Amino acid sequence: MAHYVSAAPLWAVIVFIPVFLYSVFFITRTARQAALNAGLAQHQARNIRFGIFGFSVLYLLYASMLALNGVLDVNALPPRALVWAGIPLMVILFAIIGNLPLYKRLLQSIPLEALIRVHIFRVVGVFFLILLSYRVLPARFGLFAGLGDIITALFAYPVARMASRQQRGWKLAVYLWNIFGIMDIIDLLTVAVLTGSGGNLREMAIFPFVWFPVFAPATILFLHAAVFRKLGQQAAGDHNRRP
C-alpha cells in the first residue's frame, strides 16, 4: 500500500490532508449563509452545511481507497482519476445538484461577492509548488497549477469587494477574474488528459494528492458557473425593474 502514497516529504503529506479538508469545510460556510439568507432555520442551514461536507469527505474516501489500492495508478488516457472520480463528480454537480430547486433557491439568496470570496480556498494550490520544489511534479504543470490557483485566490477578495460596492468597472473585473479561474482549470485538465496519469503526473494518481484531480476541478468549475448564473440573475432582475 505504501507504494501508492506520495513521494513527497512526510510533513507535506501530513499537512496537506487537514488543509484540504478545511478548504472543503470553508466552502460549506457559504452554503450555510445562503441557506440562512433564504429564510431557512438554523438547524436546516446547519444540516445543509454538514451534508455537503459529509458527502465531500465520503467522496474523498472513495477516491482514496481507489488510489491506495493502485486502481488509479495506470498510465491511461484520459487519466483514471478523472474517469473514475473527477468526471462523475462533475456530472453529479452540474446535472443533479445544479438543477435542484433548493440549489436555485440558495443561489438566488447568496450575494455575488460571497460566491467570489469563497475562492480564497484555492490558496491550497500552494501544494503544487511544494511538490514542484521536491521535483515530484513536472515544471510546467506544477508551476501553472500553483500560480493559477494562488492568483485566483489572491484576487478573489478585492474583486468581491468591488462587486459588493459596485465600484466602477466591477462587472468587467468579475468577468475577467471568473474567466481566468475557469481557464486555469481547463488548461490543467488539458495537460493532465494529454499526459496521462503515469510518469511525471503519478502524484495526481496516488494518495493523498489524488484529491486534487478527483475533487478540485469539478468543484471549482461548479463554483465559477455559479458566479455566471448569479450575474445572469442580477441582469434579469435589473431588466425587470426597468420602467
- Between CA 212 and CA 216 the distance in angstroms is 5
Q: Cell for 77?
A: 488516457
Q: What is the pLDDT of residue 196?
A: 55
Run of H or E including 143:
helix 139-165
- Please state whether the predicted TM-score (pTM) of the whole model is above 0.85: yes
pLDDT tens digits, 82-99: 999 999 999 999 999 999
According to DSSP, the residues that pair with 5 across neighbouring strands are 207
pLDDT band, very low/low/confident/very high, at 146 (cuts 50, 70, 90):
very high
Q: Is 17 exposed, middle or buried (0-12, 13-18, 19+ CB in 10 A)?
A: middle
Per-domain residue ranges of the chain:
2-234
pLDDT tens digits, 167-215: 999 999 999 999 999 999 998 888 777 765 555 788 999 999 999 999 9
Q: What is the pLDDT of residue 236?
A: 79
DSSP 156-223: HHHHHHHHHHT-TTHHHHHHHHHHHHHHHHHHHHHHHHHH-SSGGGGGGGSBTTTHHHHHHHHHHHHH
According to DSSP, the residues that pair with 158 across neighbouring strands are none
What number is the average pLDDT over the span 102-116? 97
DSSP 101-130: HHHHHHHHHS-HHHHHHGGGGGGGGHHHHH
Q: How many Cα neighbours within 13 Å face the side chain of 225?
A: 16
CA max distance for the chain: 67
User: Which residue in the block uniquely carries the three cell numbers 478545511?
Assistant: 22
